[in-house]
Structure 1
Amino acid sequence: MSLTKGPAAPHAAVDKSPGAGPGAPGGRRRSLNRHNLTGWLFSTPFLVLFGLFMLFPIVATLLMSFTDFGARNVTRPLEAEFVGLDNYTQLFQDDTFLKALFNTAYFVVVGVPATIVLGLLAAILLNNGIDRARTFFRIGFYAPVVTTIVAVAIVWRFVLDPTDGLIASLATEMGWTAPDFLGSETWAMPSLIAMAVWRNLGTVMVLCIAGLQAIPVEVREAARLDGAGAWQELRRITVPLLRPTLLYATVITSIGYLNVFEEPFVMTQGGPSNSTLTVSLDMYKEGFNFFHMGYASAMAYVLFVVIMAITVLQLRLLKDNTR
Structure 2
Amino acid sequence: MKAFLNRKTPYFFIAPALTLLLLFSLLPIFLAIFMSFTDMDLLGLADYSNISFIGFENYVNLFKDPQFLQALGNTAFYVIIGVPLVIVCSLGIALLINFSDARIFRFFRLIFYAPSITNVVAVSVVWLYLYNPSFGLLNYILSFFDLGPVPWLQDPTMAKISLIILALWRAIGVNMLIFLAALQGIPKEYYEAAAIDGANKWNRLINITIPSLRFATFFVMITTLIAWLQFFEEPFIMTQGGPVGSTTSAALFIYQNGFQLNKFGYASAGSIVLFIIIITITIIQFKFQQRHDDNAI
TM range, smaller chain: over 0.9
Offset of residue 44 of structure 1: 5.0
- Of 139, 154, 157, which residue of structure 2 is paired with 1:168? 139
For the pair 1:226 / 2:197, whether they are aligned, the reply is yes
Which is further off, 127-136 or 191-200? 127-136
Specify whether residues 274 and 222 from structure 1 end up closer, same or farther in structure 2 by C-alpha distance, changes over 3 A only.
same
- 1:191 is paired with a residue of what secondary structure? helix
For the pair 1:142 / 2:113, whether they are aligned, the reply is yes
Partner of 1:277: 248
Offset of residue 51 of structure 1: 3.9
Partner of 1:67: 38
Offset of residue 163 of structure 1: 1.2
Q: State the Cα deviation string for residues 100-129 of structure 1 (Å, max 9, x = none).
A: 001001101110000000000000000002
Partner of 1:183: 154
Q: What is the alpha-carbon distance in structure 2 between the residues aligned to residue 39 and residue 318 of structure 1?
A: 32
- What is the CA RMSD across the aligned residues, in angstroms? 1.8
If the length of structure 2 is used for normalisation, what is the TM-score? 0.93
Q: What is the alpha-carbon distance in structure 2 between the residues aligned to residue 179 and residue 130 of structure 1?
A: 39
Q: What is the alpha-carbon distance in structure 1 between the residues aligned to residue 288 and residue 263 of structure 2?
A: 38
Partner of 2:5: 34
Specify whether residues 172 and 215 from structure 1 end up closer, same or farther in structure 2 by C-alpha distance, changes over 3 A only.
same
Q: State the Cα deviation string for residues 68-107 of structure 1 (Å, max 9, x = none).
A: 1111100223541111111111111111000000100110
Specify whether residues 315 and 124 from structure 1 end up closer, same or farther in structure 2 by C-alpha distance, changes over 3 A only.
same
Specify whether residues 202 and 291 from structure 1 end up closer, same or farther in structure 2 by C-alpha distance, changes over 3 A only.
same
Question: Aligned letter for 1:121?
Answer: G
Which is further off, 229-238 or 65-74? 229-238
Equivalenced residue count is 294
Offset of residue 35 of structure 1: 3.4
Partner of 1:201: 172
Specify whether residues 170 and 314 from structure 1 end up closer, same or farther in structure 2 by C-alpha distance, changes over 3 A only.
same
For the pair 1:286 / 2:274, whether they are aligned, the reply is no
Greater share of residues in helix: 2
Partner of 2:66: 95
Question: Aligned letter for 2:270?
Answer: M
Gaps of 5+ in 1: 1-29
Q: What is the alpha-carbon distance in structure 2 between the residues aligned to residue 136 and residue 168 of structure 1?
A: 29
Contact preservation (8 Å) 1:243, 1:321:
no
Q: What is the alpha-carbon distance in structure 2 between the residues aligned to residue 77 and residue 213 of structure 1?
A: 57
Partner of 1:108: 79
- Of 305, 308, 321, which residue of structure 1 is paired with 2:276? 305
Larger Rg: 1
Specify whether residues 91 and 160 from structure 1 end up closer, same or farther in structure 2 by C-alpha distance, changes over 3 A only.
same
Question: Aligned letter for 2:273?
Answer: V
Q: What is the alpha-carbon distance in structure 2 between the residues aligned to residue 95 and residue 291 of structure 1?
A: 19
- Of 71, 81, 92, which residue of structure 2 is paired with 1:121? 92
Question: Aligned letter for 1:105?
Answer: A
Q: State the Cα deviation string for residues 205-237 of structure 1 (Å, max 9, x = none).
A: 101111111111111122233333333222221
Higher relative contact order (CA 8 A, sep 6+): 2
Contact preservation (8 Å) 1:153, 1:263:
yes
Q: State the Cα deviation string for residues 231-284 of structure 1 (Å, max 9, x = none).
A: 322222111110000000000000111001000000000110111000000000
Question: Aligned letter for 2:117?
Answer: V
Contact preservation (8 Å) 1:123, 1:206:
yes
- 2:269 is paired with a residue of what secondary structure? helix
Question: Aligned letter for 1:68?
Answer: D
The share of aligned pairs that are identical, in percent, is 40
- Of 46, 52, 58, which residue of structure 1 is paired with 2:29? 58
Gaps of 5+ in 2: none
Partner of 1:244: 215
Partner of 1:151: 122
Partner of 1:9: none
Q: What is the alpha-carbon distance in structure 2 between the residues aligned to residue 108 and residue 98 of structure 1?
A: 15
- 2:278 is paired with a residue of what secondary structure? helix
Offset of residue 289 of structure 1: 0.7
Question: Aligned letter for 1:266?
Answer: I
Contact preservation (8 Å) 1:158, 1:165:
yes
Specify whether residues 139 and 281 from structure 1 end up closer, same or farther in structure 2 by C-alpha distance, changes over 3 A only.
same
